[in-house]
Amino acid sequence: MPAHFNPFQIAQQQLDEAAARLELAPALHAFLREPMQEVAFTLPVMMDDGSYEVFQGFRIQYNTARGPAKGGIRFHADETVDTVRALAAWMTWKTSLMDLPLGGGKGGVVCDPRSLSPSEIERLSRGYMRKIAHLVGPEEDVPAPDVYTNPQIMAWMLDEYEAITGRHQPGVITGKPVHLFGSQGRSDATARGGMYTVREAAQALGINFEGAAVAIQGYGNAGQYAHKLGCELLGLKTVAISDSRGGIYNPHGIDYAAASAWKQRTGSLAGFKDADALTNAELLELPVAILFPAALEAVITAENAPRIQARVIAELANGPTTPEADQILYDKGVFVIPDFLCNAGGVTVSYFEQVQNAYNFYWPLAEVHARLDAIMTKAFREVHEMAQARQVHNRLAAYLVAVARVAEAVVTRGWVR
């Protein structure tokens, strides 16, 4: 993300536009512009050589009017308190748009997990949970994975929480391994939910995307599963993929099994055979039908938006497009499936995981898929109808649906009138 973009300012700017259209009362608008509660702390961790390093950690509960705070934990070197605030705000609008009985939150640690050993990451994860244990719980705040965190890290955090509280409480955290109270279908849920929204977009636009070329920026959980499921579910042809070190391009298509095995073996996509190298910036501007930003914030800006050639942008990342770029894309006729709609499959199956944990009864995969499809499809249609009715771009339409629900809960509770 370019240094001059502050994601929280962007999140507030997006909210301001929705608040104006919804004619929210000034105090209600002011309340929704800020997190309800945030904690920041230092996190000393013993390294493998016996030395200590001190990291900075955050947990932010943005809004709990509609239910317990919900949202992931990110381990990233560029993390800032404002990144976490923005991500927590977007979680609030995401759970609302999906109509889940949850609020929004997010957490993070400023660190480069790629330079840490597995045992250092375990101590960091357990230390993080010790710092937030008094704030989280199935009825307060439920963390999950985000960038550079995974099911193993969720398992360590669950174990630490249960050691502290002395109780079995798997619903304190989601995205756990399936064999340790996780849900079937959580691992590919973000990309799968995104594919359901792409399918709906194709129908709304009257376009057949079978065999269409797509580019995927980012090759973590969302990006890799988008590559796999794009092919399996929609018959898409992935011609370009990238990770933080750069990308690869082959107009005839890149095989998922070969590319993911290469990434697994070498740690990056660089040097993959049968493809040309390209930069992340070049990938975004390729002549493709669908572009999947699946990495970090603010990669589509006023600077490069005029050169984007995709017909559809399906945002698997959180916050990849700036407000200025949104307007440019809308004017150009690019159909954007906004982040907190497109990538909401992850938190939706996290919610299913919590439900299963609460009942101590677990669903088969087909049930997870069917329920996810129903929720994603309903949300897509609500956003699409709002966009058409109000003649606004899809992101603003999604905000209008989501913010209205949160505002209604806040007012009905009597917090702000």
Residues that bind ligand GLU (CB under 6 A): 70-72, 144-146, 174-175, 318, 343, 346-347, 350
Helix then strand then coil, % of the chain, to nearest 5 = 50, 15, 35
Nearer to ligand GLU, 185 or 346 (CB): 346
Q: CA-CA distance, 151 to 144, in Å (whole number)?
A: 9
Give the residue at shortest CB distance from ligand GLU: 72
Which run of H or of E encompasses 216? strand 213-217
Dihedral, 81, 84, 90, 91 alpha carbons, nearest 10 = -140
Instruction: Closer to ligand GLU by CB, 169 or 309: give it.
Output: 169
What the block records as the tokens of 58 is 């955050």
Query: In terms of CB distance, is 183 or 322 closer to ligand GLU?
Result: 183
Q: Which two tokens stand for residue 376?
A: 């994603």
Tokens of 37: 């509660």
Sheet containing 335-337: which strands, arranged edge to edge? 276-278, 246-249, 237-243, 213-217, 290-293, 312-314, 335-337
Provide the minimum distance between the beta carbon of 173 and ligand GLU in the complex, in angstroms, as a whole number. 9
One-letter identity of residue 335? F
What's the closest the beta carbon of residue 347 comes to ligand GLU, in angstroms?
A: 4
Task: Using alpha carbons, select from 292, 378, 297, 305 the residue that is nearest to residue 337.
Answer: 292
Residue 107's φ and ψ, nearest 5 degrees, are: -140, 170
Q: How far is the CB of 147 from ligand GLU (least distance, A)?
A: 8
Of 95 and 394, the one with the shorter C-beta distance to ligand GLU is: 95
If residue 41 lies in a helix (H) or strand (E), which one and from where to where?
A: strand 37-46
Residues with Cβ within 8 Å of residue 414, at least 6 apart in sequence: none
> Which stretch of DSSP H or E encloses residue 159?
helix 151-165
Q: Give the β-pairing of 312-314 and 237-243.
A: unpaired
| 263 carries an active-site annotation | no
CB of residue 318 to ligand GLU, shortest distance in Å: 5
Bridge partners, 104 (sequence order): 63
- What residues form DSSP beta bridges with 214? 238, 290
User: Which is the catalytic residue, given 70, 106, 176, 263?
Assistant: 106
Q: What is the largest CA-CA distance in the chain?
A: 62
Neighbours of 317 (CB within 10 A): 25
> Residue 314 and residue 13: Cα distance in Å, rounded?
21
The least CB distance from residue 317 to ligand GLU, in Å, is 9
Considering beta carbons, is residue 92 or 250 the nearer one to ligand GLU?
Answer: 92
As a whole number of angstroms, the distance between CA 398 and CA 71 comes to 18
Q: Which is nearer to ligand GLU, 144 or 402 (CB)?
A: 144
Residues sharing a CB contact under 8 Å with residue 31, sequence separation 6 or more, in sequence order: 410, 415, 416
CB of 275 to ligand GLU, least distance (A): 29
Tell me how crowded residue 81 is: count the other CB atoms within 10 A of its CB: 16
Question: Which of 107/127 has CB closer to ligand GLU?
Answer: 107
Nearer to ligand GLU, 71 or 171 (CB): 71
CB of 62 to ligand GLU, least distance (A): 12
To ligand GLU, the closest distance from the beta carbon of 14 in angstroms equals 16
Residues annotated as catalytic are 106
